[in-house]
């Protein structure tokens, strides 16, 4: 933008100079055709010269900075959505498992671990509390079939 | 029955709100904060409240504008009367009236030019704080492509416009005023084409930048919005059909997040729009007041018989109009961009 500003300033200054020169020559009654030709060439040179010096390198760097800033903001939004989804899914699954455990009259603590994928899927579960072998088997089948956590990923404490 | 109760229990648990602190409009600094209502009711009422507060602060400006206009009319009347009694001193009278009008109008014009530039800077600075909030919110809603496109476009146009105004148009305004004063003093149309070119450049650069920006937003909204909507829908369909129970939980969690984020994003968007209007309205009304009164004064001066003085005042008035256009364009750019962010996905 600085280049464009300088270009227009030089153009305006050249125009003012040309205007003053032609006015003075007209007042003195001189041969103004040569003067007008010279002034015209001068104005044309002023118009063309700065255009050749125009550089676009700075504009590419500016656009790169803008793209970087936008990617930071977008990544922040994606992380917020992913974290909230992770939290909601974890809480809901733990409540679902606790509800099943309550139906079996079990008093346990459940901690579900999710994957880092999007969307986060259940990866493993830790169940703490006293559980009879029969109820453990029922709960294991429930976790494997309905939640999708295989027996190898179920930790009983 | 048990399954129904379980599902109802899950539905209740799903209504977990998303953290609110990430998606609020940043506070406004300076006198604009005083114009904002303490409690937001509806958008229309909030706008009306801002407008009433801004109008109530205009009394000193009304007095100042009236004083300037009275001074201008007095100068034109005196010069007109003197011209009638001394027709041979026409050039001297014209020079004197031009000098007096320039002295009366240069200082307020300079003040308003600086006011316009500072308003534009304030709008741009607030935009730099506000844009990342809306971009993050739109990305959290699932509008990743739209958010990137809108952010990049708004920043690029905002920077080009603000830099163009401060580095290009403002110097052009001063050159235009110099040429107008020279024309008024000499009685000759000094560099008329250059003067017309400068005025055309100032007006059309603002119009074209706004048209281009609106066109860019329209195209970006259609293209990237369609992509984002399809992505969100495809993800939801994949979730619900993939894993029993868990897929349903994921789908409902995704919907809950979308609704929460959209609500907060729209609230932040409304807050941001009100902030932009609050920043812009007081300077806008001040300049508009002088613009209207100077227009009236120019018409009165033309009636008094001195067309050259009327034309000079008219030229100063056109500068006020360009300042209004400058501030209005930048404010409108930010508001249109905010509306596009609020439109969201789909």
Q: What is the pTM of this model?
A: 0.79
Q: How many domains does chain B have?
A: 1
Return mean pLDDT, chain B: 82
The answer to whether the CB of B153 falls within 8 A of the CB of B217 is yes
| Residue A56 banded pLDDT, cuts 50, 70, 90 | low
Give the architecture-level CATH label for domain A85-156.
2-Layer Sandwich (3.30)
- Smallest Cβ distance to A70: which of B16, B151, B235? B151
**Interface contact flag, B135 A9, Cβ < 8 Å:** no
Q: Is residue B88 part of a domain?
A: yes
Q: How far is B191 from chain A (nearest CA, A)?
A: 7
A14 → chain B, closest CA residue: B194
Query: Which helix (H) or strand (E) is A114 found in, with range?
Result: strand A109-114
Report residue A1's pLDDT band, with 50, 70 and 90 as the boundaries: low
Looking at per-residue pLDDT, the higher value among A138 and A22 belongs to A138
Please report the DSSP string for A21-77 in residue order. HHHHHHHHT--HHHHHHHHHHHHHHHHHHHHHT---HHHHHHHHHHHHHHHHHHHHH
Task: State residue A23's pLDDT score.
Answer: 78
Percent of chain B residues past pLDDT 70, beyond the cut: 87
A114 beta partners? A122
Coil vs helix vs strand at A154: strand
A133-156 residue pLDDT tens: 888 888 888 888 888 888 888 888
List the single residue in A with minimal CA-CA distance to B155.
A66
User: Is residue B207 pLDDT above 70, yes or no?
Assistant: yes
Q: Is residue B17 part of a domain?
A: no
State ipTM: 0.75
Residues in chain B closer than 8 A to A75 (CB atoms): 139
Mean pLDDT along residues B155-176 = 86
Where along chain A do its domains lie? Answer: 2-54, 85-156
pLDDT, one tens digit per residue, over B95-131 is 888 888 899 999 999 999 999 999 999 999 999 999 9
B-chain residues within 8 Å CB-CB of A8?
A: 168, 172, 201
* Cβ of residue A20 closer than 8 Å to a chain B Cβ: no
Nearest CA in chain A to B178: A16
Query: In whole angstroms, what is the distance from residue B131 CA to residue B120 CA?
Result: 16
Mutate to test the interface with B, among A66, A77, A81, A141 (most CBs of B within 10 A): A77
Collect all residues of chain B within an 8 Å Cβ-Cβ radius of residue A11: none
Interface test with A, best of B186, B240, B250, B341 (most A CBs within 10 A): B250
Which residue range forms the structural domain that includes residue B249? 41-343
């Amino acid at each position: 933008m600085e280049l464009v500003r300088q270009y227009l300033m030089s153009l305006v200054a050249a125009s003012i100079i040309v205007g003053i020169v032609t006015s003075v020559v007209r007042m003195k009654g001189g041969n103004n055709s040569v003067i007008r030709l010279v002034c015209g060439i001068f104005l044309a040179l002023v118009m063309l010269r700065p255009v050749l010096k125009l550089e676009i390198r700075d504009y590419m760097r500016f656009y790169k900075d803008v793209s970087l800033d936008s990617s930071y903001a977008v990544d922040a939004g994606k992380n917020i959505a992913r974290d909230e989804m992770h939290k909601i899914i974890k809480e809901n699954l733990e409540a679902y498992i606790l509800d099943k455990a309550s139906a079996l009259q079990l008093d346990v603590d459940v901690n579900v671990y999710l994957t880092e994928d999007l969307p986060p899927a259940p990866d493993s579960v830790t169940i703490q509390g006293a559980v009879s072998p029969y109820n453990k088997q029922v709960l294991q089948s429930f976790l494997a079939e309905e939640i999708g956590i295989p027996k190898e990923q179920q930790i009983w404490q | 029955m048990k399954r129904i109760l379980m599902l109802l229990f899950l539905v209740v648990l799903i209504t977990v709100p998303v953290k609110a602190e990430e998606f609020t409009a940043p506070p406004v600094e300076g006198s604009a904060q005083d114009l904002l209502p303490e409690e937001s009711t509806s958008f229309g009422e909030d706008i009306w409240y801002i407008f009433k507060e801004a109008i109530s602060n205009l009394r000193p400006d009304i007095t100042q504008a009236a004083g300037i206009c009275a001074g201008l009319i007095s100068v034109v009347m005196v010069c007109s009367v003197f011209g009638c009694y001394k027709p041979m001193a026409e050039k001297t009278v014209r020079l004197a009236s031009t000098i007096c009008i320039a002295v009366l109008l240069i200082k307020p014009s300079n003040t308003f030019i600086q006011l316009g530039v500072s308003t534009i800077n304030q709008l741009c600075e607030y935009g730099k704080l506000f844009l990342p909030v809306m971009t993050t919110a739109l990305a959290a809603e699932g509008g990743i492509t739209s958010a990137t496109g809108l952010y990049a476009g708004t920043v690029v146009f905002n920077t080009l416009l603000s830099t163009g105004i401060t580095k290009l148009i403002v110097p052009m305004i001063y050159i235009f005023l110099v040429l107008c004063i020279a024309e008024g003093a000499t009685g000759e149309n000094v560099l008329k084409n250059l003067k017309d070119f400068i005025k055309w450049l100032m007006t059309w650069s603002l119009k074209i930048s706004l048209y281009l920006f609106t066109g860019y937003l329209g195209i970006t909204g259609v293209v990237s919005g369609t992509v984002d909507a399809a992505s969100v829908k495809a993800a939801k369909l994949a979730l619900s059909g993939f894993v029993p129970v868990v897929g349903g939980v994921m789908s409902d969690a995704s919907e809950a997040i979308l609704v929460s984020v959209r609500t907060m994003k729209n609230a932040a968007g409304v807050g941001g729009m009100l902030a932009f209007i609050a920043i812009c309205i007081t300077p806008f009304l001040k300049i508009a007041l002088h613009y209207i009164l100077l227009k009236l004064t120019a018409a009165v001066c033309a009636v008094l018989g001195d067309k050259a003085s009327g034309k000079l005042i008219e030229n100063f008035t056109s500068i006020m109009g360009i300042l209004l256009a400058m501030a209005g364009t930048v404010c409108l750019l930010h508001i249109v961009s905010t509306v596009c962010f609020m439109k969201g996905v789909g």
